[in-house]
Amino acid sequence: MRVKEFLAGILTGVAAGVVVNEAFNKLNEEVPADNVLKKVKEAFKEEGPIDGSWIVMKPEPYTNHVISMEVYRGGVSRMKDGRLEQYEFAADAKTGTVVELVRQ
């Protein structure tokens, strides 16, 4: 085996390791809370205007029987047919997916 081939193999292995490490780190990152709130507000705006919204910027533990995860808690309020509607939600901190939505 030539030295060039040997070095090419080492560099390829190192590059693959870096790519896999970056991909793994992205899986463990949290979606920013303000991005989650923006997605939730966009979904509500499809049905009509909203009056207010909020989100807790720090994730908290959430368990729904078997599933455990870190979630952001937040809420949205809007007027519908002259009445105030308020909703609270929990969204997975890693994906931003709403896992609970409750009308108050």
Residue 67 shares a structural domain with residue 79: yes
Residue 22 shares a structural domain with residue 35: no
52: containing domain? 31-103
Residue 9 predicted with pLDDT over 90: no
In the prediction, which pLDDT does 80 show? 86
> pLDDT class for 3, splitting at 50, 70, 90?
low
Residue 18 shares a structural domain with residue 53: no
Residue 97 shares a structural domain with residue 68: yes
Q: Global pTM?
A: 0.70
pLDDT digit string, tens, across residues 10-36: 556 555 554 554 555 455 578 999 999
Residue 24 shares a structural domain with residue 49: no
Residue 36 shares a structural domain with residue 19: no
Nearest to 71 by CA among 92, 49, 42: 92
Residue length, the chain?
104
Number of domains in the chain: 2
b (16+ CB within 10 A) / e for 2-12: eeeeeeeeeee
Residue 19 shares a structural domain with residue 41: no
Residue 42 shares a structural domain with residue 57: yes
- DSSP label of 58: S
pLDDT digit string, tens, across residues 27-72: 557 899 999 999 999 999 998 899 999 999 999 999 988 889 999 9
Residue 78 predicted with pLDDT over 80: yes
